[in-house]
Amino acid sequence: MKPIKLGMVGGGSGAFIGAVHRIASRIDGEFNLVAGALSSTPEKARTSGEELGLAPDRSYDSFVEMAKSEARLKDGIEAVAIVTPNHMHYPAAREFLERGIHVICDKPLTATVSDANKMATAVENSNALFILTHNYTGYPMIRQAKELVATGELGKLRIVQVEYAQDWLTEPTHNKQAEWRTDPSRSGAGGSTGDIGTHAYNLARFVSGLTLNKLSADLDAFVPGRRVDDNGHVLMRFEGGAKGMLWCSQVAPGNENGLRLRIFGEKGGLEWSQEDPNYLWYTPFGEAKRRLTRGGAGTSPSANALNRTPGGHPEGYLEAFANLYAEAAQAIRAVQAGQPVPSNVHFPDINDGVEGVRFIDACVRSSSKDAAWVSL
């Protein structure tokens, strides 16, 4: 199999998530980065391209130019990774979708609901695939959890507890990451809700399979002068009667990247923590708690299909991210061969993306109405 030719929009020198996407695309040898519009500043775009060893004529000053040129090339890019700040996701993605180039887009989908809807239309009108990197869904033990729920091991679900706590914005911060993530014009109206709450919500949906009916959100910007929320408390009511709580925070000292999910049903409970991702704690009601380990005894073939190493060899964030790229590759190759996307592929898609943006929007709306119940 030849590697899939990949382009990248955003992700120039110093960017966090761009580097992550590049590693993720490389781990399994399925992608080859050959083009980029790596920064909105042309000079920086060029320097970054050189650093990454791009051919000079495929290191572009703008994504529009890149989309046009690559679409014309005989061996132009087959897929593009979009890793800009949120407000640029739609304008960039549109250019590639229109030209049939598959899009792998970072989350949240867009900065606004309006853009999210436009993105949905663009995807609908394109024959290209759209993959959203809600990367935490790529962890094998999350797939295991999803399967335990789906096969009824937990019984009817009652309670979802999900949280995503960090501390890096505890004090006023002025680095590159913090700047755009706390600027509503670039990140959207949600701060912690947009940056991490949406991950938490997506993960809860992914594993539980539940549909959210209503939420009530109480958001705060604890750091003086901050223009977006840095802490959010959310109550959730799902279709069918399950209830949930979601906490997201970037001002909780002692939490680095604390995404944690707990789900409880009539017959059992699950617990998982992103910082210790190789463990899934499963308690069938009335039995002792079991520690399932990635690749270990009692795990399922579908979860283990995402492993690269046996149990006890910890895999982490980058491998989970790479699992989405691996699934993207599977899907792209299937489409290129005129076949349907394989059913074992579970990457988040445009619907998850729209749902995520609506979640952020609902949190902001609810909070502005004193935490009233709102629908998505």
Residue closer to its own copies, measured from CB, 98 or 153: 153
Q: Which of 60, 317, 347, 359 binds its own copies (CB under 8 A)?
A: 317
Residue 167 touching its own copies (CB under 8 A): yes
Residue 23 in the binding site for its own copies (CB under 8 A): yes
From residue 244 to residue 263, the character string flagging contacts with its own copies as x (rule: CB under 8 A) and all else as - is xx-x-x-xxxxxxxx---x-
Q: How many residues line the site for its own copies (CB under 8 A)?
A: 88
The only residue of 56, 171, 338, 343 in contact with its own copies, by rule CB under 8 A: 171
Task: Give the H or E element holding residue 158.
Answer: strand 157-165
18 binds its own copies (CB under 8 A): no
Residue 105 DSSP SS3 = strand
Residue type, 293: T
Q: Which of 4, 8, 15, 20 binds its own copies (CB under 8 A)?
A: 20
* Binding residues for its own copies restricted to 58-97, rule: CB under 8 A: none
**Per-residue x/- track, 220-239, its own copies (CB under 8 A):** x-x--------x-x-x-x--
Q: Sign of dihedral through CA atoms 135, 140, 141, 147? A: positive
Give 213's contacts (C-beta < 8 A, 6+ positions apart).
237, 238, 239, 375
With CB under 8 A as the contact rule, which of the stretches 57-65, 185-193, 312-320, 355-363 interacts with its own copies?
Answer: 312-320
d(CA 360, CA 364): 6
Using the structure block, give the residue that is written with the tokens 């190493």.
309
Q: How far is CA 140 from the centre of its chain?
A: 15
Amino acid of residue 199: H
Considering only residues 175, 312, 342, 375, which one is a binding residue for its own copies as defined by CB under 8 A?
312
Phi-psi region at 231: left, alpha or beta (left = phi > 0; alpha = psi -120 to 50): beta
The identity of residue 32, as a single letter, is N
Of residues 64, 71, 318, 334, which one binds its own copies by CB under 8 A? 318
Tell me which residue has tokens 């239309």: 121
Q: How many C-beta atoms surround the C-beta of residue 192 within 10 A?
A: 31
Residue 335: both structure tokens together? 């489409």
Among 14, 152, 314, 342, binds its own copies (CB under 8 A): 314
Is 172 a residue that touches its own copies (CB under 8 A)? no
Does 147 engage in binding with its own copies (CB under 8 A)? no
Per CB under 8 A, 153 contacts its own copies: no
Using rule CB under 8 A, residue 333 touches its own copies: no
Amino acid at the residue 312: G
